[in-house]
Amino acid sequence: MKKSKFSESRKRAIVLEGEKDTKNIEKLCEQHQISVATYYKWKQSQSVEACEDKKRLCALEKENVKLKKMYLESQLDKEVLLEAVAMLKKMQAQPKQMP
């Protein structure tokens, strides 16, 4: 398979340039010496990538919320345990009373 002479960033730049002026796609393609079909293939590829990125971002945000909740719960558990240890130390420090 032949390697493209255009980097991903260059492809993105060409597609963005085409999106700014949709009437002159053929001129843009001529300028960059690519076919119109190649331009639209790049455009579709980038839209698919953007959609996948959105899905990935959404999943990461959900996971972040879940992890934050787990962290808060562990902090509450830690506070409860520290209070229990403090109470136990107080009870042990008090002299035993005989009835």
Asked whether residue 91 is assigned to any structural domain, the reply reads no
Residue 34 counted as domain residue = yes
Number of separate domains in the chain: 1
Q: Is residue 95 part of a domain?
A: no
Q: What angle do CA 88, 90, 92 make, to 5 degrees?
A: 70
Closest CA to 43 of 75, 20, 76, 77: 20
Phi, psi for residue 95 in degrees, rounded to 5: -70, 145
Range of the domain at 52: 8-68
- Please report, in tens digits, the pLDDT of each residue of the chain (99 residues total): 667 788 888 988 888 888 887 788 899 899 989 999 999 999 998 888 888 999 999 999 999 999 999 999 999 999 999 999 999 999 888 877 766
Residue 57 counted as domain residue: yes
Tell me whether residue 88 is in a domain: no
